[in-house]
């Protein structure tokens, strides 16, 4: 039985191909990934695009998209795309501060995490994935703190340059933590993923966040599909969309 606490989108019959992407971590210093993303938006034949979080490396408030610069350039590309096809966005752990003002500027629809997509006679459970990494207790404590309205209101009330400096500090700490020999890379918890799927009356969970693209059988006919992260400057480059069509699921390499 479906847990109606999970948001749900029923795809129109006209949607034949739906693309899902996540973890692009767009930033001004990574022109290569931006160029691949721009080309993808301009050429994808998908009828709708779902962005499952971490589109940006960091987002410090919707006011940045109103200023000349990288974020405004990204917003313009999204807006142009949204004039041709629906674009949906789900918060990640890097861009959870994207709000209704940025959504309106970019032309996309904000999604709850998780959301059920009803498409081609199946129910697909969509999530960024970070909330299911139960072993990453330090991050989950941080996540609980920064997702409160009180924390967000206090952060967004700070001057723009102060927010930029704080974001740089948080990113530096995050990178230092990743380089630590004691760092444990948490993955999505299997039983928790199965619980979500059963509550959603779905058999497939699609998520990002872990940067470990793959297809995992969870038992009892349940599975999870992990989206690729993007890094066009890597060797080999990574830039991939996941397409759902009437024929099934296919990974599409964009480089």
Q: What is the pLDDT of residue 89?
A: 98
Helix (H) or strand (E) run with residue 197 in it: helix 190-200
pLDDT of residue 167: 87
The CATH architecture of the domain made up of 7-253 is 4-Layer Sandwich (3.60)
Question: Which residue, chain included where needed, has tokens 């301009």?
Answer: 42
> How much of the chain exceeds pLDDT 70, in percent?
95
Q: Tens of pLDDT along 43-88?
A: 999 999 999 999 999 999 999 998 999 999 999 999 999 999 999 9
**DSSP string of 108-144, one letter each residue:** PEEE-SSEEEEETTEEEEEE-SGGG-TT-HHHHHHHH
pLDDT higher than 80, residue 5: no
Q: Is the peptide bond before 66 cis (omega within 30 degrees of 0)?
A: no
Torsions phi, psi of 63, nearest 5? Answer: -65, -20
Task: Specify the pTM.
Answer: 0.94
- pLDDT in the model for residue 183: 61
Cβ–Cβ < 8 Å for 240, 213 = yes
- Asked whether the predicted pLDDT for residue 176 surpasses 90, the reply is no
240-254 residue pLDDT tens:
999 999 999 999 999
Q: Provide the pLDDT confidence category of residue 1 given band limits of 50, 70 and 90.
A: very low
Q: Give the CA radius of gyration of the chain.
A: 18
pLDDT in tens, 98-131: 999 999 999 999 999 999 999 999 999 999 999 9
Q: What is the pLDDT of residue 2?
A: 44
Q: How many CB atoms lie within 10 A of CB 2?
A: 13
Banded pLDDT at 255 (limits 50, 70, 90): confident
Tokens 């390499």 belong to residue:
253
User: For residue range 186-224, what is the model confidence (pLDDT) as tens digits?
Assistant: 899 999 999 999 999 999 999 999 999 999 999 999 999
Tokens of 114: 């998780």
Band of pLDDT at residue 169, cut at 50, 70 and 90: confident
Strand order in the sheet with 18-21: 109-111, 87-90, 48-51, 18-21, 240-245, 248-253
Looking at residue 4, what is its pLDDT?
Answer: 54
CB–CB of 242/227 below 8 Å? yes
Alpha-carbon distances, residue 190 vs 74, 114, 205 (angstroms): 35, 16, 11
Nearest to 133 by CA among 57, 224, 200: 224
């Amino acid at each position: 039985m479906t847990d109606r606490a999970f948001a749900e989108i029923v795809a129109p019959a006209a949607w034949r191909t739906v693309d899902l992407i996540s973890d692009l971590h767009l930033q001004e210093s990574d022109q290569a990934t931006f160029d691949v993303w721009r080309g993808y938006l301009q050429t994808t034949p998908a009828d709708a695009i779902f962005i499952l979080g971490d589109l940006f490396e960091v987002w410090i408030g919707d006011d940045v998209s109103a200023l000349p610069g990288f974020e405004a350039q990204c917003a313009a590309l999204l807006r142009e795309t949204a004039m041709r096809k629906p674009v949906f966005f789900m918060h990640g752990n890097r861009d959870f501060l994207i709000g209704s003002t940025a959504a309106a500027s970019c032309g996309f629809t904000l999604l709850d995490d998780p959301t059920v997509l009803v498409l081609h006679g199946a129910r697909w459970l969509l999530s960024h994935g970070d909330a299911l990494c139960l072993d990453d207790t330090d991050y989950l404590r941080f996540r609980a703190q920064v997702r409160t309205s009180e924390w967000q209101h206090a952060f967004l009330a700070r001057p723009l340059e102060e927010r930029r400096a704080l974001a740089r500090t948080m990113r530096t700490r995050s990178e230092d933590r990743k380089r630590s020999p004691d760092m444990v890379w948490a993955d999505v918890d299997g039983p928790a993923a199965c619980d979500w799927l059963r509550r959603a009356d779905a058999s497939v969970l699609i998520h990002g966040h872990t940067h470990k693209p793959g297809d995992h059988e969870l038992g009892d006919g349940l599975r999870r599909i992990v989206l690729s992260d993007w890094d066009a400057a890597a060797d080999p480059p990574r830039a991939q969309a996941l397409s759902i069509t009437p024929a099934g699921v296919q990974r599409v390499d964009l480089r």
